[in-house]
Chain A
């Protein structure tokens, strides 16, 4: 444990470095393919390129929140209550919130160019904003006072409730009439209405963003582990000081 704290490359390993390199390579293709090689859309023109960031970031945010729920359930149901699950849940939620923010910003920019409005309170946008705020609340709860056990229990219950919003967000365009278009790829009919190169670049974006996600989560959960170690050491020092005071009195 002390090695982890003192090492200068404490959160990096050979595996994460390879993961990071792969992420850079795939993202390079997404940038070049998305901006140069893919064609304009017949109706949207150049603004279709926002899709290569907007859609993958939305999917990765879903993935992040689902993994948060799985890790939280593992912590709650598991007999050992391993804090590793809790740290993974927290790290995944933090990165998921970042991707959700990217989704909202890029979606607003696309909306201004296509709908003529940055924002409308239609079912998809409203449920997405609600999901974003819910996970901001989740992160706030993780920072409440209390022991690591209390933090893990509170946040696990919230994560299991919050994940129920994801089907609501995804199917909001099917259940209700929405200004936002229906799903192009993950639609109920299974008919993908997307030009081949656009589809390839979109999936490259999903792969690239997934690699970035896992790279960030691995580093973040290790940072959280170091923070827990530091907090525990702080507590040990405080107890030792208190004992020393007691013995001198």
Chain B
């Protein structure tokens, strides 16, 4: 077998031009494919997946929006209404409001953490005879961060209510 080094090929002008064109095409092909994939992905995510991925239904959408049927287990988002919170040893009752619609919520236990009046929450549970029976509550914090002001807090009775009242 002849393994001696071969002289480099000397292509004519025509073939050199076409090979550099092919190289340029090969170089940009991944960019074009990636761009098409990106555009396709954006269309799928923003147009077709929205209702499937949404984490919760708002209070005013219960029984109205697709996926928020009263017959199934739901995650419902709304704000704990001021002066509606009542706690007993085993239950926590409050009214949850969103877009001028309200539902009564009863939770088995004490939600704890930063749960309070005027704060947005997501309650997991079912509608039973007009009352939302929840066994899990998550506090949905807003994107607002404000220094704790003791005087304002004491006047409103709840940190979240003092924030809501400005």
Interface residues of A (CB under 8 A from B): 39-45, 48, 51, 73, 76-77, 113-117, 120, 122-123, 157, 160-161, 164, 168, 175-179, 181-184, 187, 193-195, 198
Contact = CB atoms under 8 A, between A and B. Distances in A.
A51 B113 CA distance: 17
Pairs of residues from A and B, 10 with the lowest C-beta to C-beta distance, nearest first: A193-B144, A39-B147, A177-B54, A40-B148, A184-B143, A115-B138, A122-B55, A181-B143, A182-B143, A42-B159
Interface in B104-127: 111-116, 119, 122
B93 to A, nearest CB: 18
A212 B130 CA distance: 55
A115 B114 CA distance: 8
B113 A41 contact: no
B30 A76 contact: yes
26 contacts: A39-B147, A39-B148, A43-B116, A43-B160, A44-B141, A51-B145, A77-B28, A114-B113, A114-B141, A115-B139, A116-B111, A116-B112, A116-B137, A120-B138, A160-B30, A164-B34, A168-B45, A175-B46, A176-B49, A176-B54, A178-B55, A181-B140, A181-B143, A187-B143, A193-B142, A193-B144
Given A160-B30, A176-B54, A178-B55, A43 B147 contact: no
B22 interface: no
Main secondary structure of the interface of A (DSSP, over half): loop
A153 to B, nearest CB: 10
Interface residues of B, number: 43
Contacts of A51: 145
Given A116-B112, A116-B137, A168-B45, A194 B145 contact: yes
A173 B36 CA distance: 24
B112 A198 contact: no
B77 interface: yes
Contact of A114 (B30, B46, B139, B148): B139
B30 A157 contact: yes
Given A115-B113, A160-B31, A176-B49, 11 more contacts: A42-B149, A42-B153, A43-B116, A44-B141, A45-B148, A51-B145, A168-B41, A175-B45, A176-B55, A179-B140, A195-B147
Nearest to A114: B141
